[in-house]
Amino acid sequence: MNFTIRPAARTDCKDISRMIRELAVYENMQDQVKISHEELERDGFCDSPFYQSLVAEVPEDRGRAVVGYAIFYYTYRTWTGPTVYLEDLYVRPEFRGKGIGKAMMNTVAKVAKQRQCSCLHLSVLDWNQPSIDFYIAKGGRNLTATEGWQFIRFEGDAFENLVQGAPKN
C-alpha cells in the first residue's frame, strides 16, 4: 500500500481529534474524551509543545487522506535518562495490516533515538490482545507481567486534593 508518514501539522488536528474519538469508541471509553481539536492545536503547536505527533496519509481522489496518527512526548527515567512515551498509535480499521502502524512506531523510535532516548514506553488495555500481540511481536515487553509495574493515575477530585495537599482519608 502506498502511504506516507509525516510530522503532523496544525491543520491535521481536526483529523487527529476525529481519530481520537474513534479510538475511544474502540476502547469503550468514548465518554472520557474531553479534548477538542482547538486544544490539540494549542498544546501541540505552541512555543513549548506538550506533545509531538505524526500522521499517516494515503492517496485519494481529492489528494491525500489522513488514516492514522501517533502522539508521543518525552519523559525522563532516573535509571536510564530520556525516554519517549507513546500515548496513542492509531490506524483506521480499514487500513490496518498494511504496515502503517509499524512505520509510525518505527518513526517515533527514530525521532526518540535522535533525542538520545533510551527506550519507548506505552500502555495498552489488558483486553486489547491484537495490540498487545502487535507490540510484543515488535520486541516490546509487558512490564506488568514481567516486573509487576502498575500504572497509577490521579485525576478529578483525587488530583485536586493532591494539588491542595489534602489527605485522602
Q: Which of 69, 85, 90, 135 is catalytic?
A: 135
Q: What angle do CA 100, 102, 108 make, to 5 degrees?
A: 105
| Per-residue DSSP letter, 10 | G
135 carries an active-site annotation: yes
Report the Cα–Cα distance between both ends of the chain, in Å, rounded: 56
Cβ burial of 90 (10 Å; 0-12, 13-18, 19+) is buried
Among residues 101, 89, 105, the alpha carbon closest in space to that of 26 is found at 89
Cell readout for 31 is 465518554
Provide the β-strand partners of residue 82: 76
Q: Distance between CA atoms of 9 and 54, rounded to whole angstroms?
A: 9
Cα 37 from chain centre: 15
Give the catalytic positions in this structure.
135
